């Protein structure tokens, strides 16, 4: 598969030209060139289904005029095109300045110099398109191992991002990221009832080393066997019991009931019209016991291979690991330099834009739940009446990220310290803060997986962005579980 690296324009020389043209009418100017190259290859039911490549590239011009920040983006990479975008941004800043909600300074755009290249072993040129497609076709064929498997797919997405940022206060940093992900799925059907099992392999910063045919074939066997097993399984009981969530469910539980409510722009009300608000108040930082003493949640932008690792955020702040929740206590928000200045609470370097034509806003980056010291076997053994749930299949949470309900694909009952019956259609519900305060045991490093999501949505206009979560298995006490739903 050829590697389509794009020659970024000479931003430093463009910035000089702009400064000459617009003089020193602005306190600050920044130019960010971004190119996103995404390739998708899909095999369904043992056959080729789809392949495509999307390239999105352009420059975002940011200006600060009279304490007001404004933006204008352009896909016209000529000097005249960039100058037009700069003049447009200045015009918007002048119009908005009398109505500004905060007087920003260059402190919110610190000088950043560096070059981040994501870790990978095999670049995109190490496998041919045919080799990748053959692997996916064989995998989807293996997934469709019985007549009762009515649907299977092996879906691969490879994304390459290049970014270069320069500014009038000396910033000059570049980011090169490779992301690989393969999604394997089988749906089984009998007597009008269907059951689906899914496995997402990877979803992290990596190259084509993730494309291992033998590994995929092995996973495919398990996935299709579990889909068939669910057809004969009893429904999940409806009662209260201990809940052991595996990493591919912990991810979404963390994302929705901790990640989003801790976003500072939500707490400030910026997202109220679209993505929603938060149950967290500014006065809760340093005071709210968000979870039990076992709950440690970090912002982890330096975690190797995690999906959203980088050196600097899109505002130029240096990305460092920070505790958001320490021993259950809420200590820090998911908010970049602008929101921190407005809210006067500590935040993190999480100011990110999803594409060349989107302004950076507060985003999750990597939000990780730190491993504990219990093995999976110890957590099962310690449970008298419980249930293990794997792989999210549905979710619902209110606007304030308080009350939630999640459904999973696959569950197993735990009785007297042993795994017993597989059950179908498992669901559970709870309220964010009491739920995390019922955290009883946290899985050790052997249970940890690096996962995430490609499409966390927020912002107007919408920004779908990749977010990483490195998480262990978690055991929660006395959770309301229920069956039903197809
Ligand atoms: Zn999200």
| CA–centroid distance, residue 464 to ligand 1 (Å) | 9
| CA–centroid distance, residue 400 to ligand 1 (Å) | 13
| CA–centroid distance, residue 18 to ligand 1 (Å) | 37
Question: Does 223 have pLDDT greater than 70?
Answer: yes
Q: What is the mean pLDDT of residues 367-395?
A: 97
| CA–centroid distance, residue 354 to ligand 1 (Å) | 13
- pLDDT of amino acid 123: 87
Question: Does 3 have pLDDT greater than 80?
Answer: no
Residues 31/56, Cβ–Cβ less than 8 Å: no
- pLDDT of amino acid 1: 58
Tens of pLDDT, residues 320-332: 999 999 999 999 9
| CA–centroid distance, residue 167 to ligand 1 (Å) | 30
Band of pLDDT at residue 233, cut at 50, 70 and 90: very high
- pLDDT of amino acid 181: 92
Instruction: Say if strands 403-415 and 149-167 run parallel, antiparallel, or are unpaired.
Output: unpaired
| CA–centroid distance, residue 377 to ligand 1 (Å) | 31
What is residue 387's three-state secondary structure?
Answer: strand
Tens of pLDDT, residues 166-178: 999 999 999 999 9
| CA–centroid distance, residue 299 to ligand 1 (Å) | 15
Instruction: Say if strands 239-245 and 385-397 run parallel, antiparallel, or are unpaired.
Output: parallel
Question: Does 4 have pLDDT greater than 80?
Answer: no
Check if CATH label 3.30.2290.10 holds for domain 11-231.
Answer: yes
Helices vs. strands in the chain: H and E counts, helices first: 9, 22
| CA–centroid distance, residue 478 to ligand 1 (Å) | 26
| CA–centroid distance, residue 60 to ligand 1 (Å) | 24
C-alpha dihedral, 417 to 422 to 424 to 428, nearest 10°: 10
| CA–centroid distance, residue 266 to ligand 1 (Å) | 12
| CA–centroid distance, residue 352 to ligand 1 (Å) | 14
What is d(CA 19, CA 25) in angstroms, rounded to the nearest whole number?
Answer: 9
| CA–centroid distance, residue 69 to ligand 1 (Å) | 26
Name the token pair of 28.
């600050």
β-sheet with 297-299: strand ranges across: 329-330, 322-326, 297-299, 367-369
| CA–centroid distance, residue 95 to ligand 1 (Å) | 32
User: Which phi and psi angles does 260 have, rounded to 5°?
Assistant: -60, -45
Tens of pLDDT, residues 96-139: 999 999 999 999 999 999 999 999 999 888 889 999 999 999 99
Residues 150/187, Cβ–Cβ less than 8 Å: yes
| CA–centroid distance, residue 313 to ligand 1 (Å) | 18
| CA–centroid distance, residue 260 to ligand 1 (Å) | 7
Measure Cα distances from 12 to 21, 29, 360 in Å: 14, 12, 21
| CA–centroid distance, residue 128 to ligand 1 (Å) | 34
Residues 255/219, Cβ–Cβ less than 8 Å: no
| CA–centroid distance, residue 231 to ligand 1 (Å) | 31
| CA–centroid distance, residue 17 to ligand 1 (Å) | 39
| CA–centroid distance, residue 272 to ligand 1 (Å) | 14
Q: Exposed (0-12), middle (13-18) or buried (19+): which is 168, by Cβ within 10 Å?
A: buried
Tens of pLDDT, residues 311-321: 999 999 999 99
What is d(CA 294, CA 297) in angstroms, rounded to the nearest whole number?
Answer: 10
Name the token pair of 160.
């390459």
Question: Does 434 have pLDDT greater than 80?
Answer: yes
| CA–centroid distance, residue 454 to ligand 1 (Å) | 9
Residues 289/283, Cβ–Cβ less than 8 Å: no
Q: Helices marked H in 232-336 — which ranges?
A: 247-254, 264-267
What is d(CA 43, CA 151) in angstroms, rounded to the nearest whole number?
Answer: 11
Residues 441/477, Cβ–Cβ less than 8 Å: no
- pLDDT of amino acid 26: 93
| CA–centroid distance, residue 364 to ligand 1 (Å) | 8
| CA–centroid distance, residue 322 to ligand 1 (Å) | 20
What is d(CA 373, CA 367) in angstroms, rounded to the nearest whole number?
Answer: 20
| CA–centroid distance, residue 256 to ligand 1 (Å) | 7
| CA–centroid distance, residue 449 to ligand 1 (Å) | 19
Q: Helices marked H in 144-291 — which ranges?
A: 213-231, 247-254, 264-267
| CA–centroid distance, residue 457 to ligand 1 (Å) | 5
**Cα end-to-end distance, the chain, whole Å:** 39
- pLDDT of amino acid 302: 95
What is residue 291's three-state secondary structure?
Answer: coil
Q: What is the mean pLDDT of residues 27-41?
A: 96
Question: Does 229 have pLDDT greater than 60?
Answer: yes
Count the neighbouring beta carbons within 10 Å of the beta carbon of residue 281.
10
| CA–centroid distance, residue 19 to ligand 1 (Å) | 38
| CA–centroid distance, residue 458 to ligand 1 (Å) | 7
What is d(CA 384, CA 371) in angstroms, rounded to the nearest whole number?
Answer: 23
Question: Does 413 have pLDDT greater than 80?
Answer: yes
| CA–centroid distance, residue 193 to ligand 1 (Å) | 30
Q: Mean pLDDT over all residues of the chain?
A: 95
What is d(CA 64, CA 422) in angstroms, rounded to the nearest whole number?
Answer: 59
Band of pLDDT at residue 293, cut at 50, 70 and 90: very high
| CA–centroid distance, residue 312 to ligand 1 (Å) | 21
| CA–centroid distance, residue 1 to ligand 1 (Å) | 31
Q: What is the mean pLDDT of residues 461-476?
A: 96
| CA–centroid distance, residue 455 to ligand 1 (Å) | 7
Domain residue spans of the chain: 11-231, 239-482
Measure Cα distances from 220 to 137, 142, 144, 264 in Å: 12, 6, 9, 41
| CA–centroid distance, residue 155 to ligand 1 (Å) | 22
| CA–centroid distance, residue 479 to ligand 1 (Å) | 23
> Is the CA virtual torsion 133, 134, 135, 139 positive or negative?
positive
| CA–centroid distance, residue 472 to ligand 1 (Å) | 19
Band of pLDDT at residue 2, cut at 50, 70 and 90: low
Band of pLDDT at residue 243, cut at 50, 70 and 90: very high
The continuous run of DSSP H or E covering 161 comes out as strand 149-167
| CA–centroid distance, residue 456 to ligand 1 (Å) | 4
What is residue 132's three-state secondary structure?
Answer: helix
Band of pLDDT at residue 12, cut at 50, 70 and 90: very high
User: Which phi and psi angles does 55 have, rounded to 5°?
Assistant: -120, 125
Residues 291/328, Cβ–Cβ less than 8 Å: yes
């Amino acid at each position: 598969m050829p590697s389509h690296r794009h020659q970024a324009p000479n931003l430093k020389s463009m910035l000089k030209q702009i400064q000459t043209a617009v003089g020193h009418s602005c306190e600050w100017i920044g130019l960010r060139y971004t190119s996103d190259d995404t390739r998708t290859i899909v095999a369904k039911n043992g056959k080729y289904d789809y392949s495509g490549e999307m390239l999105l590239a352009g420059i975002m011009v940011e200006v600060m005029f009279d304490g007001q920040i404004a933006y204008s983006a352009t896909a016209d990479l000529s000097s005249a095109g960039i100058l037009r975008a700069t003049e447009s941004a200045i015009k918007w800043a002048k119009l908005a300045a009398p109505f500004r909600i905060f007087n920003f300074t260059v402190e919110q755009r610190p000088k950043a110099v560096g070059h981040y290249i994501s870790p990978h072993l095999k670049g995109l040129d190490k496998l041919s398109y045919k080799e990748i497609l053959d692997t996916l076709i064989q995998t989807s064929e293996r997934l469709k191992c019985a007549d009762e498997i009515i649907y299977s797919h092996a879906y691969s997405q490879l994304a390459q991002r290049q970014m270069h940022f320069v500014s009038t206060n000396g910033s000059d940093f570049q980011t090169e990221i490779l992301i690989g992900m393969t999604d394997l799925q089988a749906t089984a059907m009998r007597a009008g009832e269907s059951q689906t099992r899914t496995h997402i392999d990877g979803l992290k910063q990596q190259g084509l080393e993730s494309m291992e045919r033998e590994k995929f074939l092995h996973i495919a066997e398990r996935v299709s066997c579990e889909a068939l097993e669910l057809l004969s399984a009893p429904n999940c009981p409806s009662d209260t019991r201990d809940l052991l969530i595996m990493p591919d469910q912990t991810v979404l539980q963390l994302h929705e009931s901790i990640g989003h409510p801790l976003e500072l722009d939500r707490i400030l009300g910026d997202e109220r019209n679209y993505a929603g608000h938060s149950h967290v108040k500014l006065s809760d930082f340093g005071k709210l016991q968000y979870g039990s003493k076992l709950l440690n949640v970090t912002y982890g932008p330096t975690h190797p291979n995690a999906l959203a690792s980088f050196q600097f955020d899109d505002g130029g702040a240096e990305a460092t690991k920070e505790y958001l929740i320490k021993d259950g206590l809420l200590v820090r928000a998911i908010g970049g330099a602008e929101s921190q200045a407005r809210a006067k609470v500590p935040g993190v370097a999480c100011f990110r834009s999803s594409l060349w034509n989107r302004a950076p806003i507060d985003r999750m980056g990597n939000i990780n739940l730190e491993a504990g010291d219990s093995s999976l076997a110890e957590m099962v053994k310690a449970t008298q009446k419980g249930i293990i749930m794997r792989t999210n299949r549905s979710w619902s949470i209110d606007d304030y990220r308080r009350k939630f309900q999640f459904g999973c694909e696959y569950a197993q009952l735990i009785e007297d310290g042993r795994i017993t019956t597989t059950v179908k259609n498992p669901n559970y519900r709870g309220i964010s803060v009491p739920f995390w305060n019922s955290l009883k045991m946290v899985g050790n490093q052997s249970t940890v997986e690096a996962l995430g999501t490609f499409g966390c949505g927020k912002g107007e206009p919408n920004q779908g962005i990749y977010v990483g979560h490195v998480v262990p298995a978690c055991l929660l006490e006395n959770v309301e579980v229920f069956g039903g739903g197809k």
